Amino acid sequence: MHKLYFTLGSVLAGLGVILGAFGAHGLKTAAPESVPTFQTGVQYQMYHAFALLIVGILFEKFPFKSMNWAGVCFLIGILLFSGSLYALSLLKATGKVGLGGLGIITPVGGLFFVVGWICFVMALLKK
């Protein structure tokens, strides 16, 4: 299982670098008002990509369901939280109005991050 978290963490961190460069250069030129939202998505993606790498490292020493759930929650959080911020930024940059319920996805993703950290701590505290 730990190889999966190493792979996901590495791929998502690399993608975060690419998206960060896009936000800093491409989006900044096209729609500077969208950059802060996009940058927040990149930040949280990077933080939690590293968290996935840490889960991969610690999974051998703490092979508990709660450690596995931490990794799953971090991944879902990245997809929902960062993904929705990317979508909101790009829709805003293209002038699309009426984002519908897309904005409600962001806090749900944030909740997955929090649950992931709770699961992580629970795994570390098990004997």
pLDDT digits (tens, 9 = 90+) for 62-113: 999 999 999 999 999 999 999 999 998 888 888 776 566 777 899 999 999 9
5 neighbors 68 (Cβ within 8 angstroms): no
The whole-number average pLDDT for the span 41-68 is 96
Mean pLDDT (whole number) for 12-31? 89
The structure tokens listed for 60 are 């051998």
> What are the structural domain ranges in the chain?
2-125
Helix (H/G/I), strand (E/B), else coil: 22: helix
pLDDT of residue 2: 84
Give start and end residues of each alpha helix (H) in the chain: 2-21, 28-30, 35-58, 65-77, 83-93, 102-125
Confidence of residue 1 (pLDDT cuts 50, 70, 90): low
For residue 70, what pLDDT is reported?
98
CATH topology of domain 2-125: Four Helix Bundle (Hemerythrin (Met), subunit A) (1.20.120)
Q: Report d(CA 9, CA 56) in Å as an integer.
A: 9
Average pLDDT, the chain: 91
Give the per-residue pLDDT at 25.
86
CA distances, 58 to each of 40, 52, 109, 112, 114 (Å) = 27, 10, 23, 20, 19
* Residue 123 pLDDT class (50, 70, 90 cuts): very high
